[in-house]
Amino acid sequence: MRQVILDTETTGLEVQRGHRVIEIGCIELVQRRRTGREFHTYLDPEREIDEGARAVTGLTEEFLRGKPKFAQIAREFLDFVEGAEVIAHNASFDVAFLDAELARAGLGEPRLAERARILDTLVLAREKFPGQRNSLDALCKRLEVDNSHRELHGALLDANLLADVYLALTSGQGALGFAEETAQAATRASVELRVTVRPFVLRADAQEIASHEARLAAIDAASKGNCVWKRA
């Protein structure tokens, strides 16, 4: 199965107020293993960045000026995620912003959730750790994922951390799959053994046959000719 771990950074928190995506980071997994393929880009949002977003990401209008517009990378982004299972933390936030960007680029239909299956690790974490803090930082601490190098939020950095968090959150599923495969392999080996290995037949030699006949004769004499084994 192909999966894409995704994170975005934005100019602000409210897509309804016209805030834009300023960074996208994606990590590819196949069969729960990193392939080394990534999609990462900074974007020129063509608008100001909220002070809070600048403080969290460290990104400024000056740094992003001249970077690609979303419409310029939209098709490449879609090619990377289409058909995969897209995994994000608080996925509704990222998906809403990306759908808005795709609509601006004239690629709004079908929506992202119709191009790829969406899996929200925040929902997974709340099911596994109800009543606890389930931010990415909190999960890193709880699941022993090293995030000591995370001084600022960054889409590619956070996608890499989320990949480790997701694998830790769902490690039992992987173990279950491995156990099922092992059991199936053992069953196949057992069937093959039963089919291909023939039983070894040990036959009596002449001395053993003579002893057996003498024993039957003695039983027959003692029972006055009523030895069942001799008649058989």
Query: What is the per-residue pLDDT for 221?
Result: 66
Q: Does residue 122 contact residue 88 with C-beta atoms inside 8 Å? A: no
pLDDT digits (tens, 9 = 90+) for 24-54: 999 999 999 999 999 999 999 999 999 999 9
What structural domains and CATH numbers belong to the chain?
2-169 (3.30.420.10)
Does 178 score more than 60 pLDDT?
no
Q: What pLDDT shows up at residue 11?
A: 98
Closest CA to 129 of 169, 189, 165: 169
Mean pLDDT calculated for residue range 184-191: 44
89-115 mean pLDDT: 97
pLDDT in tens, 58-67: 999 999 999 9
For residue 202, the model assigns a pLDDT of 53
Residue range 188-216, pLDDT digits in tens: 444 443 434 444 445 566 666 666 566 66
Q: pTM (2 decimals)? A: 0.74
Q: What does the pLDDT read at residue 204?
A: 62
Please give the pLDDT value at position 151: 82
Q: What pLDDT, on the 0 to 100 scale, is given for residue 227?
A: 59
Active site (catalytic) residues: 153
Residue 177 has pLDDT above 60, yes or no: no
Phi-psi region of 225 (alpha: psi -120 to 50; beta: other; left: phi over 0): left
**How confident is the model over 216-231, as pLDDT tens digits?**
666 666 666 665 555 5
pLDDT of residue 191: 40
